[in-house]
Amino acid sequence: MTELTPADRRFVEFDVDDTDREQAGLNGHTIEQLSDYLDRGRVPADPSIDDSPDCEIALRGLERLRRVQLSLLDRDLKRESLRDDNWVASILDNITLEAHAGRDIPLIHPSPTARLVVTEGAVRGILRETGDKLQNVLVGRCALFGDVGVPGVPITISVDVTVFPEENIPLVADRLRQAMYAVVAQHTNLVVTAIDITVTDLSIAPQASAQGQEHT
């Protein structure tokens, strides 16, 4: 094709209901096919599209539509982000810890009519807090393995953590493990035989610290 497509040439006037007219105006293609072609990044190249001035105009229109869509989304997101925070508060006010309470972990009391328990959720919570208090550590998932419902049965704890790059990982893991043993002993009668710490994700740290500085 040697013919240049004028930038201001109007997109073919088609009837939204008539596929034949649409294809006739787009070198045998449909808008849907062209849209999929754009989604694929125009690969593999299809000469029957690339060499058709009508298709080129339609593709340009689709690209413009996409740009406007993005700026509309951007505008809407900005507007939503500027709202006051009350809606966040009302969501948080309407959810309950009960959904993630987990199992009941018995606490010892001599009376036969006493049933004292700490929930698995509460223990996971204090394990998280313990890790978060250490510098440059963020605790992810915490899991208690074993029968926590029966006093004296040995259990293990598994913890995912993010440790920031400048930290000495074995040292941090050891400090975290000791702190977690102490806090479990403080709040439960569990017999913990091991705390397995998995360092899961270091890559987020540079970004996180950079953004953290922006906030301060």
Residue numbers 77-116 binding another protein by CB under 8 A:
77, 80-81, 85-102, 104, 107-109, 111, 113-116
Residue type, 174: D
Size of the site for another protein (CB under 8 A): 86
Q: How far apart are CA 144 and CA 180, in angstroms?
A: 12
User: How far lies 74's CA from each of 42, 77, 82, 83, in Å?
Assistant: 25, 5, 12, 15
* Spatial contact of 22 and 14, defined as CB atoms under 8 Å apart: yes
Q: How far apart are CA 53 and CA 5, in angstroms?
A: 6
Tokens of 18: 């008539």
Contact between 160 and another protein per CB under 8 A: yes
Contact between 125 and another protein per CB under 8 A: yes
To 10 degrees, what angle do helices 53-81 and 31-39 make? Answer: 60
Which span sits near another protein by CB under 8 A: 40-48, 134-142, 146-154, 170-178? 134-142
Contact between 151 and another protein per CB under 8 A: no
| DSSP class per residue in 127-140 | HHHHHHHSTTEEEE
Contact between 35 and another protein per CB under 8 A: yes
Nearer to another protein, 50 or 63 (CB): 63
Contact between 182 and another protein per CB under 8 A: no
Select from 28, 40, 42, 72 the one that contacts another protein (CB under 8 A): 72
CB half-sphere exposure, 59, CA atoms < 13 A: 22
Contact between 58 and another protein per CB under 8 A: yes
Q: CB 165 → another protein: shortest distance, Å?
A: 14
Select from 49, 123, 157, 190 the one that contacts another protein (CB under 8 A): 123
Q: How far apart are CA 163 and CA 199, in angstroms?
A: 7
Nearer to another protein, 2 or 144 (CB): 144
Contact between 52 and another protein per CB under 8 A: no
Q: How far apart are CA 105 and CA 102, in angstroms?
A: 9
Q: CB 197 → another protein: shortest distance, Å?
A: 14
Tokens of 133: 């208090």
Which span sits near another protein by CB under 8 A: 3-11, 41-49, 168-176, 190-198? 3-11
Nearer to another protein, 51 or 63 (CB): 63
